[in-house]
Amino acid sequence: MINWRYETWVREFEAERERRGAVGDPLWSLGAALDPALVRSLRKFQVGEDGDGSALIGKAERAGDPVYAGAVRLFVAEEQNHARMLALLLAAGGSGTLSGHWSDAVFVRLRRLMGLRMELLVLMVAEVVALRYYRAVRDGAADPLASEVAGRILADEERHVPFHCRRLREGFAGLPAPARRAVAGGWRILLAGAAALVAVDHGPALRHLGVRRRAFVAETVRLSAPLAASFTSAPARTPTGV
Ligand SMILES: [Fe+2]
Ligand SMILES: [Fe+2]
């Protein structure tokens, strides 16, 4: 039997949960002065982060590796923490959350129709767009609370991406090289499309953060090249630890 070595990820997620508990929350009582364009943008990302993750957990459980399923449960808890922190940030700025957003509803429905591998591919689109977005908020927001929350979320997303990459690499290991190349190409096109949609939809917030739309798309697409290569590259015969 292949040793998936997801114990390492479980330990990492658990250590992070402990660290989070020890550090505690940002000081919400400081309040936040948020630009209206940033509020509109953060509210949409808050909806995207929110969700019980039960469909993904179910698929991970059916994949037959209980350690991996445990890691996915911890991953989902981190995403829920992102939604919680964004809601508290919005509240600190005197704003509420959205009850839902059409793009999120479409995204969730699409993912439900897919198997684990396809769901992770689509999820990875959101994770990589999030990498560039939260970096923009962390570095560009004038409000210290907004910058801190974005920095914390970004640090988590930077761990999520290699976690999904690893599972995807194993998922695509059985495909012949041309099929893996097609997956990589298709995924990068999907990512470029999603980055363009976000750049248009969140353009005013990005402008406020000092990031041009075109640069946002270009930098997200640039990020995607090594990632696509890593999860569709020829697999090692015996996967080792991270
Ligand atoms: Fe997230
Ligand atoms: Fe994430």
Domain that holds residue 142: 33-232
Q: Is 109 exposed, middle or buried (0-12, 13-18, 19+ CB in 10 A)?
A: exposed
Q: What separation in Å is there between the alpha carbon of 108 and the centre of ligand 2?
A: 15
Angle, helices 66-92/7-23, rounded to nearest 10 degrees: 30
C-alpha 163 to ligand 1 mean position (Å): 13
In a domain, 181, yes or no: yes
Reference 147, options 155, 156, 138; nearest CA is 138
Average pLDDT over residues 72-95: 97
Better-scored residue on pLDDT, 171 or 209: 209
Q: pLDDT tier at 235 (50, 70, 90 boundaries)?
A: low
- Does the pLDDT of residue 239 top 60, yes or no? no
Say how many CA atoms lie within 13 Å of 103 toward its Cβ.
15
| Ligand at shortest distance from the CA of 162 | 2
* Residue 17 domain flag: no
Domain CATH for 169: 1.20.1260.10
**pLDDT (0 to 100) of residue 241:** 41
User: Quick check: is 85 in a domain?
Assistant: yes
- The Cβ-side half-sphere exposure at 120, using a 13 Å CA radius, reads 25
Q: Which tokens belong to 148?
A: 């801190």
CA dihedral 212, 44, 191, 117 (to 10 degrees): 160
- Ligand nearest, relative to CA of residue 75: 2
Residues in the 5 Å CB sphere of ion ligand 1: 49, 79, 82
CA of 127 to the centre of ligand 2 (A): 5
User: Is 25 inside a domain boundary?
Assistant: no
What tens digit of pLDDT does each residue of 178-221 get? 999 999 999 999 999 999 999 999 999 999 999 999 999 999 99
90: nearest Cα among 27, 25, 40: 40
Least Cα distance to 213 among 191, 197, 224, 227 occurs for 197
Residue showing tokens 């991996």: 68
Closest ligand relative to 161 C-alpha: 2
- Asked if the structure places residue 13 within a domain, the reply is no
Half-sphere exposure in the Cβ direction for 89 (13 Å, CA): 30
Q: Is residue 219 part of a domain?
A: yes
**Coil, strand or helix: which one is 34?**
coil
Distance CA 73, CA 20 (A): 16
In a domain, 93, yes or no: yes
Burial (0-12, 13-18, 19+ Cβ within 10 Å), 51:
middle
How many domains does the chain contain in total?
1
With tokens 């363009």, the residue in question is 196
79 C-alpha vs ligand 1 centroid, how far in Å? 4
Q: Is residue 241, in this structure, part of any structural domain at all? A: no
The Å distance, Cα 54 to ligand 2 centre, comes to 15
The total number of residues shown for the chain amounts to 242
